Amino acid sequence: MAVVTIVGAGMMGSALAFPARENGNEVRIVGTHLDREIIDRSRETNRHPKFEKDFPEGIRFYQIEELEEAIKDTDVVIGGVSSFGVEWFGEKVLPVLPDGMIVLTVTKGLMDTPDGKLLTYPRLWQEKLDAMGRKVSLNAIGGPCTSYELVAHDQTEVAFCGEDRNVLEYLREVMTTDYYHISLSADITGIESAVALKNGYALGIALTIGLNQKEFGIDSPLHFNSQAAVFGQGMKEMYRLLEFQNALCLENLCVGVGDLYVTVYGGRTRLVGILLGRGLNIDEAKAELNGVTLESLVVAERVARAVKVNVEKGILKAEDFPLLMHIDEIIMDKKEVNIPWESFTFRK
């Protein structure tokens, strides 16, 4: 049995408490400064406010001020913050972890640099740890997994990635259940980039749903030809971006494509894409969603910015990324949705 401490009481972090606890581990959940009500409610009811199922018995809940108490004797820390909490996690959590701690993050996203590089979050955190002279084992989760379906025990397959195979095998042993299945990979760049990129491309696919609702009516039957066309183009562009980032195993694109499939069929990214396709500009779509955080917009903006830097350097070609470039125009320049269908075609 291991002691697993999850930092971040959002839906995904909290959902991971189910396989962790049901596999026989001691589990602690620490809320961030934004999770106070969630922790209070979970203490009172043993249920996350957004779940329809109680937590497994025996989980302990902590407010952020109790972090140091929560990580005493901990074997694994799971980072359950959203991409908007990446810097917070690096500044407030990593520095208090003892050397040798195993960290497993579920946060998906990429950061771009002025010279056009795209960095995974484990890479960003590693640079911070190196500057502090600290040694922590950073590992990450990628793959198609929605929190509410994990809680419901829907069959789920994900990938854990990290540099140390022995650590990955240990994490697999700690977290595997009869409904939570885990592949292992040393390709941190490939796994983490693929699952981050899917956010921006899922938005692109959702644009077609809004376009068809605009033309045929909101309650009209779904049209799948257009969704499939954009899905295919998104896969091509994701592949090219993994090549650009020197991913170790391009087969790991499959992890991101599975995640892309899940994201298109539900969630905030689907909603904003539909609204944009119906004709709203990005400001109007954000207002319609009433302040909901949209990681897909951040990822698309950062990746497009990096691509444009590398196009200027002659490393990449803009015509290889027509979908990404159009999504960027919609977000940054508030252009109307006008998917460049013909640019998706090829002659080989």
Catalytic residue IDs: 198
Please answer whether residues 108 and 196 qualify as being in contact, where contact means their C-beta atoms are separated by less than 8 angstroms: yes
278 and 330 Cβ atoms separated by less than 8 Å: no
Residue 302: half-sphere exposure toward Cβ, Cα within 13 Å: 19
Single out the residue of 162, 143, 93, 118 nearest to residue 298, CA to CA.
118
DSSP state of 93: I
Beta-strand pair 60-62/76-79: unpaired
Structure tokens at 305: 């910015």
Phi-psi region of 223 (alpha: psi -120 to 50; beta: other; left: phi over 0): beta
Q: Is the dihedral of CA 252, 253, 258, 262 positive or negative?
A: positive
3-state secondary structure of 102: strand
Whole-angstrom distance, CA of residue 99 vs CA of residue 238: 35
